[in-house]
Amino acid sequence: MNRTKIGFYRGVPILLGAAYLSACGGDGAESGNTADTRTEAPAVADAAQPSPRPLPAIPENYSPIGVFSAPFAEPTIVVDGEVVETDEKCITTEDGLQECKPAAGTMALLPDDRLLYLNALEGTENVELSIVAEFGEVSVNDQTRVLSLGNDDRPDWLKPSPLRGGANPDGNDSETLLGGTPLDGLLDTADNTNRNDGALFCSDVIGLADGSVMAVGGTDYYSEPGIDGLPLGVAELEGIKNSRIFDPTTNTWRQTGDMNFGRWYPSMVTLPDSKIFVASGVTKLLKPVYPEEPINSGRNVVQTETFNPCTGVWTQNPSTADRSLPLYPRLHLLPNGHVLYNAGGQAFNPFGQGYDQALWNIVATFDPASQRWNDIGYAGLPLRLDEVGLGQLASTLNLTNLTEEQLRLFTEDLLSSTDGLISSVTDLLTSPDDSLLTTDTLIKAIGGGMRGSTSSTMLPLKPDENGEYNNVELLTAGGVPSYALLTSPGGYLPTDQSRIDRIETNGDQIGYESRLTGALNQPRWYGTNVVMPDGSVMVFSGGTRDGVVLPGLEGAIMTAERFDPDTETWTEMASGHRPRTYHNTAVLMADGRVMIGGHAPINTAYLSHISLEDFGLAPNDGRDPSFEIYTPPYAMRNDRPTILSAPEQLSVGDSFTIQVDQALDIDKVLLIRRTVMTHLIDGDQRAIELPVKARNGRNLQLEMPGKQSVVPAGQYMLFVSKSTPEGRVPSVSAPIAVVNEAFQCQGDATMAQLDQDMLELLTGASG
Amino acid sequence: MQMTKKARTLAEAAVFALLGTALPSTLLAHGAVEVDNAPEHILQASISQPAAIPGLSAVILDAPQPGILVSYRGSSVLTVEDTEGEGLLRFGPEGVMANRSSADWPGLSEARPGMVNSHNKDSSWVKVSATPSFGWLDPRLGVENGEGLWRIPVITDSGAQSEIRGRLTRNPLPKDDHH
């Protein structure tokens, strides 16, 4: 077990935070506020050098709702080979095309606290008429960047190599409908350019155990039908098979093994053995017709695969591991090693859905040992109605509380249920008074079933009285419920409802039950959730309507909300400065603040970019390359506890010691996995409460969970926190690498080299 | 690969959609707001009478092609019959088994070529879930049945017989005027 004393490097974020606060209105050092006169360790975690003067615990500029920083963006654009400094988002080149700064449609927190981000929808700025007619031609592979923060949060950008991930430099072997026939290539533009055959857009990303980031799948754009040279046709977005790995130590992308299936919008999860599981995605977004596999036409990729990071090889799982899932299915690794599908995702194809979409309403688990899926039940049922839940249900069933469209839907449903049908509600509902509810009514009232365009967030895992982690609670708030509508993915109007699904595992046995929490303060489409180090969950960005069904008419929601796990209620917090609807991102940083980015909307009404901002709608005039930093109330305080030293590496079952400066006050320790997310999903998202086993002065003895299924190998952040009247106050984190000692290539160098060797062996590449 | 009638129909429909419409709708991929030649109605299934067997519950899975999810936590083994009166699914203490020789087997979501029962390769019954629940696209709820009543017979090994009954209704598609 390697140890490190948290010195200057780990103190940088706190310095930055302090500097930031200073810039926002004073550091409070001279305020004379003596509410808390204890002399605490200085912000920089060096106990040997105490602060020259005590700071008030709560500075004058403290805000109970937190604060967003001013937006900031990359200052330059490369235009016609020259670097141009500009505040504009885009600059027109000599040939009339727009060159734009990339937006963070995908974002990952690297082990060294820098942020890797990937652009989204690159090229849409050059659509003149219709995105469907032209996107196959004007789109290009998405750029990548690494963002780091220096003193005073001074941002700096680095361009990885290759800049766009490097997939398919010689073109992608597109599976066109007429491929292999004499008409091959005549009615499609699949081979007219290699500039858009390996886009990172719509890939999924995952953090590998060694701290690298793997992007899997993505987009190959072309038109079919379409004719080379004519900007008229019908775009096709083909899911690609590529996998590429970003190495943060060299800032480079390299290619690893291809999947067996092209996937657009797949989801990945790290398994207990550190292999990577991938499910869903679609091979042809617009025209999912596969003459060679007719049974798979009209639906997403049902086959699943497993990636071995040591060999760089994807292996197709047996047919028992097949399952029809929505795009970007919300997947989580359970403590028993199963992968849970939480009946959430995105629905796009064809005509807004797959022909087997009905099955997406079912919560199910995949057992890697047996390679089988097991149906658990209808998402949201059974519902345990406590006081909060009854209140929420009553509120939902109060027709005057609904929007006009929701009112119409509910009215129609209720009127059609006048025969008093009770299908199975008595079996499905755990309620003190369920006599008036039918299953249909209940399902709609709770927004049960498949939920689109929202986060499925794992609440912090907690040990039971035996120190074991067997239960998981997942928070689903907002998004678009099915509403029994045909439209994608079931509705147009988002909900404000919030639900916790509790999954209890006992070996392979799995129990499932839902409960309603307090509702969001407003319905929210496409909000990004972030688990905070105080145990709360915050949601950022998103819109008031589904910006995919009719782009340009989503009103941006810039007010963040915070979910209190103790009261199970949502509270409105500070508001950001920029609208961020589709392809927004949010990532918890090592110092407990949140980096907010993204906004890459689909062109208004699928045409060209038109801003409807004057009408109170989101500005759909292109991507927003800017970032904002959200500082939560706890991060404004001067009395945050400090981790003085902690191990650099841990294994499951380890008993270990950390040194802190406020040992007596610290009552909670949270291990949070570094976020690697896109499109609201991070299949490895998790936080684990570690029990404090013993205390000795500044030393806290902690214990890691005993199973890799609770804490898969990867990069984490360790936070300690204390309770205060204003709420829980966490420290800045210490970096922890959780290793899997049974993994044959554990260790970054070994993994990388084995991967490369195997790839060369398989491809016969000479280097 | 042998192609089922349903799969063929779906594939043909998809091909027709591609070639017949040439995809003039700009919104085809993202929500079908202005899909040409879309039907005016969709078929929706509902349960009007649950089976009178303790421990059995069922819910409809709403979608353009409705499905059904059945959970059984009774003390005996429950068999769901197929459209020809043969056993289709068997709910027991070890989970749910499906009959590969059933006429409705190809429609089960889990039915894949080459899927075998690792415990008994000679048996036509294969495990499709280790839990008491299983959801599938039952042809009795399919669009080809049109409007009317549907019933799915169930029987326990203790001899209790019942049916899950429901109706299919054509509901108008939501209009886009609310957009």
Three-state helix/strand/coil letters over A516-579: ECCCCCCCCECCEEEECCCCCEEEECCECCCCCCCCCCCCECCEEEEEECCCCEEEEEEECCCC
Confidence of residue A228 (pLDDT cuts 50, 70, 90): low
Q: Does B60 touch chain A (CB under 8 A)?
A: yes
CA-CA distance, B43 to B35, in Å (whole number)?
18
In whole angstroms, what is the distance from residue A531 CA to residue B151 CA? 46
- Residue A710 · residue A469 · CB < 8 Å: yes
Does one domain contain both A25 and A124?
no
Range of the domain at A144: 102-264
Same-domain check for residues A189 and A52: no
Strands (E), A459-532: 471-477, 498-506, 509-516, 528-531
Give residue-wise pLDDT tens across range B5-29: 443 333 333 333 333 333 333 333 3
User: How many residues are recorded in chain A?
Assistant: 767
Over 60: is that where the pLDDT of A723 sits?
A: yes
Cβ contact B31–A370 (<8 Å): no
How far is the first Cα of chain A from the last one, in angstroms, to the nearest whole number? 36
- Do residues A39 and A128 both lie within one domain? no
pLDDT in tens, A598-646: 998 876 556 555 555 555 555 556 789 999 999 999 999 999 999 999 9
Other residues' Cβ atoms within 10 Å of the Cβ of residue A414: 15
More confident residue, A474 or A13: A474
Q: Which of A238-242, A571-575, B173-177 has the weakest average pLDDT?
A: B173-177
Take residue B125 and report the two structure tokens written for it. 């019954």
How far apart are alpha carbons A216 and A222 in whole angstroms?
20
Number of helices (H) and strands (E) in chain A: give both, helices first. 8, 49
A484 three-class SS? coil
Per-residue pLDDT at A542? 94
Token pair 């083994």 is found at B77
User: CB of A187 within 8 A of CB of A287?
Assistant: no
What local confidence, expressed as pLDDT, does residue A432 receive?
36
**Cis bond upstream, residue A162 (ω within 30):** yes
The answer to whether residues A52 and A116 belong to one domain is: no
Min Cα distance B22 → chain A (Å) is 8
* Distance of alpha carbon A273 from alpha carbon A575, whole angstroms: 41
| Chain A residues in contact with B95 (beta carbon < 8 A) | 374
Could you say which of A221, A245, A264 is where a domain stops? Answer: A264
**Confidence category of residue A183, pLDDT binned at 50, 70, 90:** low
- Contacts of residue A765, Cβ cutoff 8 Å, sequence gap at least 6: A759
Q: Which has the closest alpha carbon to A511: A523, A520, A502?
A: A502
Which pLDDT does position A602 carry in this prediction? 75
Number of H helices, E strands in chain B: 1, 10
Q: Which residue of A has its CA nearest to B128?
A: A374
Q: CB–CB of A353 and B63 under 8 A?
A: yes
pLDDT at residue A351, as a whole number: 46
Residue of A nearest to B39 (CA): A486
Same-domain pairing of A53 and A185: no
Q: Closest Cα of chain A to B84: distance in Å?
A: 23
B158 CA: distance to closest CA in chain A (Å): 21
Question: Would you say residue A423 has pLDDT above 50?
Answer: no
Residue A696 lies in a domain: yes
Of B14, B96, B134, the CB nearest to A297: B14
- Other CB atoms within a 10 A radius of the CB of residue A607 amount to 20
Rounded Cα gap, residues A444 and A767, in angstroms: 57
Q: Which of A473, A486, A482, A552 is nearest to A512 (CA)?
A: A473
Place of tokens 């609770």: A710
* ipTM of the complex model: 0.78
Chain B's closest residue to A606, CA to CA, is B26
Last residue of some domain: A264, A280, A314? A264
Same domain, A118 and A223: yes
Strands A569-575 and A584-588: unpaired
Angle at A722 between CA A718 and CA A725, to 5 degrees: 145
Answer whether residue A227 is part of any domain. Answer: yes
Provide the strand spans (E) within A81-211. Answer: 82-85, 90-92, 98-100, 106-109, 115-118, 144-149, 155-158, 199-207
Distance CA A195, CA A715 (A): 33
Res. A422 pLDDT band, cuts 50 70 90: very low
Task: Name, in order, each residue with C-beta under 8 angstroms of A408's C-beta and a sequence gap of 6 or more.
Answer: none
Q: Give dist(CA A539, CA A628) in Å, integer.
A: 14
Taking CB atoms and an 8 Å cutoff, what residues of chain B touch A237?
A: 29
d(CA A457, CA A535): 12
- Is residue A610 one of the residues assigned to a domain? no
Same domain membership, residue A164 and residue A248: yes
Answer yes or no: is A697 within a domain: yes
Residue where a domain stops, chosen among A249, A264, A279: A264
Determine what percent of chain A is predicted with pLDDT higher than 90: 55
Q: Which structure tokens are listed for A429?
A: 């509902």
Q: Which of A350, A488, A510 is closest, CB to CB, to B14?
A: A350
| Tokens coding A415 | 């009127």
Q: B11 vs A297: CB contact, 8 Å cut-off?
A: yes
DSSP A89: S
Q: Which residues of A touch B151 (CB under 8 A)?
A: none
User: In this structure, what CATH number is given to the domain that contains residue A669?
Assistant: 2.60.40.10
Is there a contact between A219 and A199 (Cβ–Cβ < 8 Å)? Answer: yes
Tell me the count of A-B CB pairs closer than 8 A: 223
Is the same domain home to A128 and A36? no
pTM of the model as a whole? 0.85
Q: Which of A427, A438, A525, A602 best probes binding to B when mutated, by most B CB atoms within 10 angstroms?
A: A427
Token code pair at residue A113? 């606290």
Which of the pair, A338 or A353, is modelled with greater confidence?
A338
Give the count of domains, chain A.
2
Q: What is the DSSP letter of A617?
A: S
Say how many C-beta atoms besides its own lie within 10 A of residue A369's C-beta. Answer: 9
Identify whether the C-beta of residue B105 lies closer than 8 Å to the C-beta of residue B98: yes
The alpha carbon of residue B85 is apart from the nearest alpha carbon of chain A, in Å, by 23
Residue in this structure with the two tokens 């072309």, named with its chain if needed: A222
Check CB contact under 8 Å for A424 and B64. no
Residue A461 domain-assigned (yes or no) = no
In a domain, A509, yes or no: no
Opening angle at CA A458, ends A456 and A459, nearest 5? 130
Select the residue of A405, A424, A443 nearest B50 (Cβ to Cβ): A424
In Å, the largest CA–CA distance within chain B is: 57
Claim to verify: residue A660 and residue A723 sit in the same structural domain? yes
CA of A606 vs chain B CAs: smallest distance (Å): 6
Contact between B133 and A375 using a beta-carbon 8 Å cutoff? yes
In this predicted model, which residue has the larger pLDDT, B108 or A674?
A674
**Is A196 within the bounds of a domain?**
yes
* Residues A38 and A112 occupy one common structural domain: no
User: Who contacts A390 (Cβ-Cβ below 8 Å, separation ≥6)?
Assistant: A431, A432
Same domain? A155 vs A51: no
Q: How far is Cα A116 from Cα A110, in angstroms, rounded to an integer?
A: 7
How far A358 CA sits from the closest chain B CA (Å)?
5
Q: In this complex, do A297 and B173 lie within 8 Å of one another by their Cβ atoms?
A: no
List CB contacts (< 8 A) between A357 and chain B.
63-65
Q: State which amino acid sits at residue A30.
A: E
CA-closest candidate to residue A362, choices B25, B74, B61, B140: B61
Do residue A37 and residue A138 come from a single domain? no
The candidate with the shortest Cα–Cα distance to A620, out of A543, A683, A520, is A543
| Minimal C-alpha gap between B40 and chain A (Å) | 11
Residue A623 lies in a domain: no
* Mutation target vs B (from A303, A424, A485; most B CBs, 10 A cutoff): A424
Q: Which of A306-310, A727-731, B61-65 has the lowest mean pLDDT?
A: B61-65
